[in-house]
Amino acid sequence: MALVIRYGVYVLLVGALAYPLGLYMYNVMFEKKNALTGLVGPLEKATYKVLGIDPDKPMNGKRYLSSLLLFSLIGFLVLFLMLVTQASLVHDKGFVGMDIAQAFNTAASFVTNTNWQSYTPETQMTPVVQALGLSVQNFLAPAAGMAVLFALVRGLIQTKTGTIGNFWKDMTRILLYILIPVNLVLSLLLVSQGVVQTMNGTQTAKLLEPVAVNAKGEWIENAIIDEEHDVVIVDGTIVPDAKIITEQALPSGLAASQIAIKQSGTNGGGYFLTNAAHPYENPTPFTNVLEVVSILLIPAALCFTFGKALKDMKQGRAIFWAMLICLLLSTLVIALGEHAGLGLDPAMALEGKETRFGIVGSSIWSSFTTAASSGSVNAMLDSTSPVAQLAMLLVMQLGEVIFGGAGCGLYGMLAFVILTVFIAGLMVGRTPEFAGKKIEPYEMKWAVVMVLAAPFAILLGSTIACLDPATMDSVSASGPHAFTQILYAFTSAGANNGSALSGFVSHTVLLDTLLGAMMLFARFVPMAAAIFMAQHLSRKQMVASTSGTLCTSNALFVFLLILIVVVIGALSFFPALALGPIAEWTQMIH
């Protein structure tokens, strides 16, 4: 019972905070008076004036999409140039810059809200790029996902217009009224708990005991250190070229402001290599709760925003419950895999986990971060049980629709809703309608594209990687777990998640390029499909509900929606999962 309560606290906090935030976001995006109107309103008007934006000029689908793609392309190019030139701008011989392939991978990662990290932040990312490159994209990428969601919502609620809003206005309001205020509060809370936020660079601290390393920088075992004569002795022999280390470098910087938005924006990229397991990113149990809850806060809140926009809160609650039930099932499987072991040695349960957070704090984080399109981690996922890895893989492979990313999770789930309405309508002979709009072949076509884009990217990318013999040099394991590491990497990229099993290192040009391409495909193809669907829906008129209209807000529809989501995921990925985590688990229990 104590374990249930500890897990339940996280879920209850998400629900309690999501509802008021969802109503606030409705007021913001549909231009109702809100708590920040008086303070932010003048800044909003000044932004339109400086940028030359006409906020009252609506866009059709093609113009909305072209604005989104142009905006994302500029962001990609700016970040890419910052990454490939940063080494020449820093006078530090110990700093390692990025090659073209890795810079492409990283720029694609942050522009697509994926935040896959194939680099070491402490040595390959300058504080300037962290602050002005990565942090900025951490705001812009989720804002773009939320903008597409609101375009689709307008398509559902507008009639005979053919327009879906103004992209530049949507981005401005999302940033000024939602993301910046939320993350300002979150940053201050993190700083109050000890998360670093300083303009100072790397600090140094004196070691309690000196250590010895050889010329390659490797630790020398059984060394006797004579600091007075500056020599290192092993078995009575002086080690040539040995070096005595008495100080430790402690990377620092503007971490709290980046960590706040990496969590709340479902980004996930860590300021430090060990991500939220690092004490500078996640120093206390309170910050662990704060950060893990913030991962799902905006995606969960958008369900209530959606219900309010449709003037039918039952619709929003139905989608929220469908997502929540899937999340609880995923969390249950992960918890069983970590606490019970399910055939594994219980003594290994704490491997790869921070003892400050334990199994509960690590398991709930792993569940939340894969349910959202967030790669943030506070434990080594490669050390989790095959059963837990199976659950994390499947949740991502469903298309990151179990809350998912900011905006993209909900418009992805709406594609499943449309599929469910159409399939259920065919089964019982009822009219396929949703939110007062008839669902016709055009909507079905784009819904299928949205649903199948991620599976296509994941399976194609994994196949190409497995066909390249050099890929085996990027994995640390053999047998089924090696395949799991490869499958997880491309699942993370294709689902725009960003987490990884640490045994996989994408150090080849092919892997960096392939992963980056999969991220871009899985991000922008569904976005384009959602926008085209939105425009088509906005041209339709509302139809009155009749006795033949399928109810989309009751428990039966929630069950059908979950069934469709799981069935499509199972049909798409079961063969691959059988070769990876399922095979690994069966080997361990026999």
pLDDT in tens, 106-146: 999 999 999 888 888 877 888 888 888 899 999 999 999 99
Residue 447 lies in a domain: yes
Number of domains, the chain: 3
Residue 140 lies in a domain: yes
What mean pLDDT is predicted for residues 468-475? Answer: 84
Q: Are residue 432 and residue 543 in the same domain, yes or no?
A: yes
What mean pLDDT is predicted for residues 136-157? Answer: 95
What mean pLDDT is predicted for residues 464-469? Answer: 89
Q: What pLDDT is recorded for position 90?
A: 61
Q: What pLDDT is recorded for position 63?
A: 96
Q: Are residue 70 and residue 178 in the same domain, yes or no?
A: yes
DSSP reduced 3-state for 160: coil
List, in order, residues 6 or more apart from 46 with CB less than 8 Å away: none
Most confident of 215-224, 225-234, 255-264, 376-385: 255-264
pLDDT tier for residue 59 given thresholds of 50, 70 and 90 = very high
pLDDT tier for residue 171 given thresholds of 50, 70 and 90 = very high
Residue 492 lies in a domain: yes
pLDDT of residue 332 exceeding 80: yes
Q: Are residue 189 and residue 47 in the same domain, yes or no?
A: yes
Task: Please tell me the least confidently modeled range out of 27-36, 235-244, 442-451.
Answer: 235-244
Lookup: tokens for 400: 């990151």
What mean pLDDT is predicted for residues 73-82? Answer: 94
Residue that wins the pLDDT comparison between 460 and 199: 460
Q: What pLDDT is recorded for position 529?
A: 96
What mean pLDDT is predicted for residues 349-365? Answer: 83
Q: What pLDDT is recorded for position 415?
A: 94
Q: Are residue 105 and residue 122 in the same domain, yes or no?
A: yes
Q: Within a 10 A sphere around the Cβ of 92, how many other Cβ atoms?
A: 11
Q: Are residue 224 and residue 96 in the same domain, yes or no?
A: no
List, in order, residues 6 or more apart from 255 with CB less than 8 Å away: 195, 196, 197, 271, 272, 280, 281
Lookup: tokens for 310: 């449709």
Q: What pLDDT is recorded for position 339?
A: 81
Q: What pLDDT is recorded for position 120?
A: 81
Q: What pLDDT is recorded for position 80?
A: 94
Last residue of a domain, one of 310, 328, 356: 310
What mean pLDDT is predicted for residues 479-507? Answer: 87
272 CB-side CA count, 13 A = 21
Among residues 164, 211, 173, which one has the least CA distance to residue 36? 173
**DSSP H or E segment with residue 343:** none
What mean pLDDT is predicted for residues 409-435? Answer: 87
pLDDT of residue 538 exceeding 70: yes
pLDDT tier for residue 341 given thresholds of 50, 70 and 90 = low
Q: What percent of the chain shows pLDDT beyond 70?
A: 96
Residue 426 lies in a domain: yes
Q: Which residue type occupies 41?
A: G
The per-residue b/e assignment along 316-337, b for 16 or more CB within 10 angstroms, e otherwise, is bbbbbbbbbebbebbbebbbbb
Q: What percent of the chain shows pLDDT beyond 90?
A: 49
Q: Are residue 177 and residue 208 in the same domain, yes or no?
A: no
Residue 497 lies in a domain: yes
Residue that wins the pLDDT comparison between 380 and 430: 380
Q: Are residue 442 and residue 528 in the same domain, yes or no?
A: yes
- For the chain, the average pLDDT equals 88
Q: In whole angstroms, what is the distance from residue 383 CA to residue 146 CA? A: 34
Residue 364 lies in a domain: no
Q: Are 418 and 552 in contact (CB under 8 A)?
A: no
What mean pLDDT is predicted for residues 233-256? Answer: 80
- Cα–Cα distances in angstroms (integers) from residue 258 to residues 118, 362, 406, 451, 489, in the given order: 18, 21, 16, 31, 24
Q: Are residue 423 and residue 568 in the same domain, yes or no?
A: yes
Q: What pLDDT is recorded for position 385?
A: 85
Residue 367 lies in a domain: no
pLDDT of residue 7 exceeding 90: no
Q: In whole angstroms, what is the distance from residue 403 CA to residue 322 CA? A: 9
Q: Are residue 278 and residue 424 in the same domain, yes or no?
A: no
Q: Are residue 159 and residue 299 in the same domain, yes or no?
A: yes
Q: Are residue 295 and residue 222 in the same domain, yes or no?
A: no
Residue ranges making up the domain that contains 214? 203-250
pLDDT in tens, 180-208: 999 999 999 999 999 988 877 677 888 88
Q: Are residue 525 and residue 575 in the same domain, yes or no?
A: yes
pTM: predicted TM-score of the whole model, two decimal places: 0.91
Residue 531 lies in a domain: yes
Q: Cα-flanking dihedrals φ and ψ of residue 190, to 5°?
A: -65, -45
Most confident of 94-108, 119-133, 335-349, 556-570: 556-570
The torsion angle over the Cα atoms of residues 520, 522, 524 and 529, rounded to 10 degrees, is 160
What mean pLDDT is predicted for residues 220-234? Answer: 77
Q: Which residue type occupies 209?
A: E
What mean pLDDT is predicted for residues 230-245? Answer: 79
